């Protein structure tokens, strides 16, 4: 039993999950690049006020989920709970509005929230996301949604639903807010969270997991949208329809962050439970200004890697992950160790002449040789790691300039001639062989 465990709410990523994550990273980068999004890597911690100001004081994240700490000089910092605020901070700080005529960026990395741990939810978790800054048009919203969808469908996650809503602008949302406050005042048995939020953030009541089924005939944002906001919402939907992207308008979709304006969306998958989104985002037309920049209308999304990988697992994605064939280098006679080691190194350095001579495929993993193991235990090890082929160095064959290649599946063995230079090297340079012989004695 180990004395230490990973802190509550964190997890170690290894094995298939690590491979899946690598694949997710690869696929998403290809999609981002295709759409001309450029990577920005921001620090893991930032000034705490960057988040309180952007995400909003009355949100769950700011109220109770942030990891806030003081550094040795008394600076108040927070581990980033999400990626957008940091990216916008970087955009303003480096004047990307001057240097990047198209404001498309992506990020990927660890985020931190002090939440109750549950399946697919961690206190340190991985998110990747894209932000499309300085484009107020509905096509930017749609491209963001399509990028998110493309990543998920490339990962073979088929059972996804896109939920779409508009939160309007500060102008028309004020009306909606008031309608909601009036409406909720008529409901007597609200939960504690809802009562507390009613004043500061009435929109959040709409997605309350306890009360939301009590809300019949609740006012919708749609009824309150001003002409501009309504046009924008209609145009987003028209484009989505045109490119055959299915979605449902969901009046209860409000998102937990304050900075959203107009379009908000979530992509959910029934295979990991419909309560939580695999990915979510929306438009934030006033955030850049709010954080000290120009008025720069923008839209973005973030994707929760752990949850996406859970969905991948449900869809059999992990079973289809192909790993390269392992080729095991075995020793029948230990005095050939140096030759076998050198040969393994030649293979790793991708010396294709050798590969062709012994019929190895393009992508292989080389393992071995090992000292102080019987040939039998070397074969056992080769089996355990799933080696497809074993190359055996034995004295009788090697003296004839040959090695044995054994197919671990069919158990067939054949002698293969080593390229001359492999053999010659041994004759020209016997020193290293001598060192190993001396050690053994």
Q: Contact positions toward Zn ion, by CB under 5 A?
A: 168-169, 171-172, 191, 194, 208, 210-211, 226, 229
CB 150 to Zn ion: min, Å: 29
CB 414 within 8 A of CB 404: yes
> Six-digit token pair at 355?
């590969």
CB of 213 to Zn ion, least distance (A): 11
Q: How far is the CB of 214 from Zn ion (least distance, A)?
A: 9
3-class DSSP state for residue 189?
A: coil
Cα gap 395→402, rounded to integer Å:
9
Of 95, 90, 128, which is closest to residue 109 (Cα–Cα)?
128
* Euclidean distance between CA atoms 167 and 28, whole angstroms: 28
User: 169 or 340, CB closer to Zn ion?
Assistant: 169
Residue closer to Zn ion by CB (options 27, 187) is 187
Between residues 208 and 416, which has the closer beta carbon with respect to Zn ion?
Answer: 208
Kindly report each contact of residues 96-100 with a partner whose C-beta sits within 8 Å and lies 24 or more positions away, as own/partner: 96/133, 97/133, 97/134, 97/293, 97/294, 97/296, 100/38
Tokens matching residue 270: 């029934």
The angle at the Cα of 199, spanning 194 to 204, to the nearest 5 degrees, equals 45
State whether the Cα torsion 54-58-64-68 is positive or negative: positive
**Cis previous bond, 288, omega within 30:** no
We find the least distance from the C-beta atom of residue 241 to Zn ion, in angstroms, to be: 22
Q: Which is nearer to Zn ion, 44 or 208 (CB)?
A: 208
Other beta carbons less than 10 A from residue 189's beta carbon:
9
- Closest CB to Zn ion among residues 229, 305: 229
Least distance from C-beta 196 to Zn ion, angstroms?
A: 9
Nearer to Zn ion, 148 or 194 (CB): 194
Minimum distance, C-beta of residue 302 to Zn ion, in the bound complex (Å): 24
d(CA 251, CA 203): 11
The number of angstroms, rounded, from the C-alpha of 243 to the middle of its chain's C-alpha atoms is 26
Question: Which C-beta is closer to Zn ion: that of 220 or that of 351?
Answer: 220
Min dist CB 260 to Zn ion, Å, is: 13
């Amino acid at each position: 039993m180990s004395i230490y465990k990973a802190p509550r709410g964190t997890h170690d990523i290894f094995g298939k999950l690590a491979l899946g994550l690598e694949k997710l990273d690869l696929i998403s980068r290809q999609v981002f690049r295709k759409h001309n999004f450029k990577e920005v890597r921001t620090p893991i911690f930032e000034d705490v006020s960057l988040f309180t100001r952007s995400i909003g004081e009355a949100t769950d994240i700011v109220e109770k989920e942030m990891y806030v700490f003081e550094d040795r000089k008394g600076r108040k910092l927070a581990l980033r709970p999400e990626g957008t605020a940091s990216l916008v901070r970087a955009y303003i700080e480096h004047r990307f509005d001057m240097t990047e005529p198209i404001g498309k960026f992506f990020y990927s990395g660890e985020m931190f929230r002090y939440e109750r741990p549950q399946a697919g939810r961690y206190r340190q978790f991985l998110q990747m996301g894209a932000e499309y800054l300085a484009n107020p048009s509905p096509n930017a919203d749609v491209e963001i949604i399509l990028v998110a969808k493309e990543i998920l469908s490339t990962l073979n996650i088929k059972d996804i639903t896109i939920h779409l809503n508009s939160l309007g602008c500060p102008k028309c949302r004020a009306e909606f807010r008031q309608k909601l406050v009036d409406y909720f005042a008529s409901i007597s048995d609200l939960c504690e969270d809802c009562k507390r939020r009613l004043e500061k953030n009435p929109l959040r009541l709409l997605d309350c997991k306890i009360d939301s089924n009590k809300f019949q005939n609740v006012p919708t944002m749609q009824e309150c949208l001003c002409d501009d906001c309504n046009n924008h919402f209609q145009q987003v939907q028209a484009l989505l329809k045109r490119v055959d992207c299915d979605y449902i308008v969901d009046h209860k979709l409000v998102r937990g962050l304050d900075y959203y304006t107009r379009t908000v969306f979530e992509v959910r998958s029934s295979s990991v439970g419909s309560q939580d989104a695999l990915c979510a985002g929306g438009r934030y037309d006033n955030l850049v200004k709010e954080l000290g920049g120009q008025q720069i209308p923008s839209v973005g999304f973030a994707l929760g890697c752990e949850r996406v990988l859970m969905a991948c697992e449900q869809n059999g994605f992990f079973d289809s992950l192909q790993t390269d064939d392992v080729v095991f280098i075995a020793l029948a006679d230990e005095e050939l160790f140096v030759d076998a080691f050198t040969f393994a190194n030649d293979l790793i350095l991708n010396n294709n002449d050798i590969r062709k001579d012994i019929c190895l495929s393009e992508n292989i993993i080389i393992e071995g040789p090992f000292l102080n193991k019987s040939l039998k235990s070397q074969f056992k090890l080769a089996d355990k790691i799933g080696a497809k082929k074993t190359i055996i160095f034995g004295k009788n064959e090697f003296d004839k300039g040959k090695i044995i290649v054994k197919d671990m599946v069919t158990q067939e063995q054949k002698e293969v001639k080593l390229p001359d230079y492999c053999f010659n090297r041994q004759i020209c340079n016997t020193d290293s062989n001598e060192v190993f012989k001396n050690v053994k004695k």
